Chains A and B, each alone.
Chain A
Amino acid sequence: MKMMKIVLLAYYLVLVGCVSGPKLSELPSIPEYGSTLLTCPKPVDVAVMSSFDLKAPKQQGKNKQGLIIKTIGTGFPPENATNILVEVLSEEASAGIVVTDSNRAGYISREQRLLIGKIIVLKSFAFKNIYGSDGTYLDANITLDLYERDNQNIIKSLDIWGRIQSSEIGDGVQKFPSPQLAGRLQQAYKSLLKYPEFMKFICNEGDIGEVTR
């Protein structure tokens, strides 16, 4: 009977291991963007756009072992990803960024265009789950191109990560964070507001201040 229990337990562990993937002893790190929200000294007008070919993450095929790689977020609407960026930048009004919701298929006038100084183009977004022995990380990755008005050349391209981490609720039990994809994207977009390289570009290379929260 005891033998049976051991076998069942072993089966269970193998199955759980297969479902959730191997757990890493050490979680891979993502770039640090700082913990402080930065701010532009003077309000700046920026436009947010989806890139022409922005699409939800594409389902990948199989890995080298022939196992199907499950891609997260294949059904996430690309326009929602852009709308969340608009929302995050708009909500953080203290950052001094005035966002024009320009994700309207070009229904803007010349007059409106000339009000804008900088343009943020969301190029791609993707999601990744990392299961570690000491918790779970739910990551989002975004890539952006930054433009200046009247210039068709990309000034900067950025590759940014956002992370939601599980928390220990006692006795080694981890509380899993919400798997909401929108929440992960929000984290990635908030990383932008802590990232000096991005904020210097948006604020016209001027002095950038800090907002302590």
Chain B
Amino acid sequence: MNQFFKIITIGSFLLLTGCAKDHDLNITELSASEIEALETQAQSFRGAFFQKDYMTAIGGYESLLNDMTVSSPLYLLEQATAYWANGDKETARKKLLSAELMLRGFYDAKSEESAMSYWGSESEKVYKGDPYEQSLLYIFLGLLLLDNGDIDNALASFKSAQLADSDSSSELYRSDFGLAQFLEAYCYKLRDQSDSYQTSFAQAVHSFQITHPTLRSLVNKQQHTLSAEEDDTKNGVVHKTERLEALSEEIEAQLHKVDLNYISPLNSDFNTLLVIWNGKSPIKQRVGEFGEQLVTIKNPTLINRYEVQVDNTYWVDGLKGLSDVSYQATTRGGRQMDDVLADQAAFKKASYQTGNVLVTAGAAVALASANAGSGEGAIIGMGVGGGMMLLGGIAYGVGSLTSVEADIRSWQLLPNELMVVPLALEPGEHRFNIDGFEGFIPRTNYSVTANISNQKPLNVILAIPNN
């Protein structure tokens, strides 16, 4: 049994036996403002990362990880990214494994209860990440496991990446994360499972097609229609499938127009994967009267393609369309958590309104009674008015105590998209000259060197451009 399984087994044992209650984890309880304060600090370390000052970022996150908090999984993920960018793949892998272990229960609805017992009363505030963040955790982890020679656990990781991307009670949203499917296929290839390889590779190609810019709007329309029909069915309304059928036919026709020759290098024999980081991750912001709604905003980048010269000899393309992080982050429709937050906001608004009405009416009753004279009725009236004002104050207080602000913590040390270059290279040192383009126009260039080993199932090279 390898180390990964051991870690999982120990983790599961701890969860099941309840030894990992919050008092054992020693979680430092944080208020919303304290969580915000940590985020403010993290923001400066994120800045250091994008300035390529990885050591400052790593040290900064270490200070944030001194105490176990509800944001620790997030900072572990970001620190892991900084380690990887700095060339320390081993520590990066270990940090990702730690973060994954902390969050595993939340990614699986069946074991969420045990995850909540693991985190105790703080579980509601734990950073869990959106599906796209969870998928990228597993893709990064899988790549680093492959680079470390662990094919079986890498395969499990790439499968988990797809599961995270397709979680829905109705299975309306199937994974279209092409990179996870392509890497899953590669693992099957290494395990000589040709049938499974073909299936996974075909899924990766299909994901490339349906997320292609020429098809995106059609596929989005199809998802909306499917979702609407699902709601209709729940409400007992008969389906109107003509529109859906027309959309499916249109999509089918457009699928064949996508240039698959562009991704033909994916189906070659290779031992190295150059992973090109492009741009910055999408950002989350609060909107709504009380900041109760969460919106994810794309972070578009000027440079949208790369060409790579290998060892100053031949050129290859950085392949797009397998891991468009912004697209993955913004095309899943409203997530369930938004509805819950909207209800809380409505409760807060109702509390404020009730409070205002009671205080105003109470004051009016009390004033009118006071003006009426000094008899028994006036005293009772003043008492009733005072009571109404008190109740109004309580209602107002309840409203102000209700926390409705959406959680905008996110794994910000992620790219806008990842491009990949599969390469078959001899062992030894190799140099990659990478040119970045805005469409047809050259905009930037940088170089990366890496040692290729013939002992690894896959040599993974992460290339991050100069900003």
Contacts and interface: CB of A to CB of B under 8 A. Distances in A.
Interface of A: 47, 49, 52, 102, 104-110, 113, 116, 119, 121, 147, 149-152
20 contacts: A47-B439, A47-B440, A49-B440, A49-B441, A52-B302, A102-B439, A102-B440, A104-B213, A104-B214, A105-B213, A105-B304, A106-B305, A107-B213, A107-B321, A109-B262, A109-B317, A110-B315, A147-B440, A149-B440, A152-B441
A152 B442 contact: yes
Interface string B240-263: 000000000000000000010010
A116 B259 contact: no
B279 to A, nearest CB: 12
A106 B437 contact: yes
Contacts, number: 54
B46 interface: no
Interface of B: 212-214, 259, 262, 300, 302, 304-305, 307, 315-317, 320-321, 437-443
Contacts of A119: 439-441
Contact of A150 (B213, B214, B442): B442
B442 A108 contact: no
Contacts of A110: 307, 315-317
Contacts of A49: 438-441
Contact of A147 (B213, B302, B321, B441): B441
A107 B213 CA distance: 9
A110 B300 CA distance: 22
B439 A106 contact: yes
A106 B212 CA distance: 11
B213 A52 contact: no
Nearest to B308: A110
Instruction: Pick from B307, B320, B440, B441 the residue with the most CB of A within 10 Å.
Output: B440
B443 A152 contact: yes
Contacts of B317: 109-110
A108 B213 contact: no
Contacts of A105: 213, 304, 320
A116 B440 CA distance: 8
B441 A107 contact: no
A108 B441 contact: no
The 10 closest A-B pairs by CB, nearest first: A106-B304, A106-B305, A49-B439, A105-B213, A110-B307, A119-B440, A52-B302, A152-B442, A47-B440, A109-B317
